[in-house]
């Protein structure tokens, strides 16, 4: 992400989520647009959050599963924007996928820290509901573009599905183990 940010004048037009280009067959933009950023502040904020999510989740899931979760969140955000946000023409940044990692992470780790997980889910839910409320101000003083709040929603929903799937799988494995004993 740092290298892509250093080459922003080249990477942004070639890789950002651009609805018209995607509809004309440039499908990679569904994923690559989330790895580029609109400025250094945007990059630093998203990179720091990615490192924090990784640090938290690596304690509970292997790198392979974390990578699949990240890929699912990227797909959920890109696909969600394309399917359900037709007025959004351009997007860059990892914040949508980060919301997915955060939600999945708190669900996955809820046995270790149930109260903290419940509180975190309430805060994220409140934030997303607030962002979706009519009249919400999407401007940010340190970003040159409005915040794409729909990306946060689609990422969080993807993380919710992943986290619930994680627990459903864990319960199924536990049930199978008990039946085999």
pLDDT score recorded for residue 53: 85
* Residues 10, 15, 17: CA angle, nearest 5 degrees: 135
pLDDT score recorded for residue 61: 81
pLDDT tens per residue, range 38-93: 888 899 999 999 998 888 777 778 889 889 999 999 999 999 999 999 999 999 99
The DSSP bridge partners found for residue 91 are 17
DSSP state of 113: -
Percent share of the chain, pLDDT over 90:
66
Quick one: CATH architecture of 2-180?
Answer: Up-down Bundle (1.20)
Supply the mean pLDDT for the chain.
92
pLDDT tens per residue, range 98-142: 999 999 999 988 888 899 999 999 999 999 999 999 999 999 888
**pTM for this prediction:** 0.91
Q: Say if CB 81 and CB 150 are below 8 A apart.
A: yes
């Amino acid at each position: 992400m740092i290298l892509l940010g250093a080459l922003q004048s080249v990477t942004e037009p070639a890789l950002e989520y651009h609805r018209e280009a995607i509809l004309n067959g440039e499908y990679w933009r569904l994923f690559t647009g989330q790895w580029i950023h609109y400025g250094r502040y945007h990059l630093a904020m998203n990179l720091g959050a990615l490192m924090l999510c990784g640090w938290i989740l690596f304690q509970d899931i292997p790198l392979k599963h974390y990578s699949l979760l990240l890929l699912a969140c990227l797909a959920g955000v890109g696909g969600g924007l394309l399917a359900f946000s037709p007025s959004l023409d351009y997007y860059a940044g990892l914040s949508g996928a980060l919301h997915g990692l955060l939600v999945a992470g708190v669900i996955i780790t809820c046995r270790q820290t149930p109260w903290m997980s419940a509180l975190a889910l309430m805060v994220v839910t409140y934030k997303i509901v607030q962002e979706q409320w009519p009249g919400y101000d999407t401007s940010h003083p340190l970003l040159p573009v409005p915040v794409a709040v729909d990306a946060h929603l689609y990422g969080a929903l993807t993380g919710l599905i992943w986290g619930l799937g994680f627990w459903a799988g864990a319960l199924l494995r536990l049930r199978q183990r008990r039946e085999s004993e």
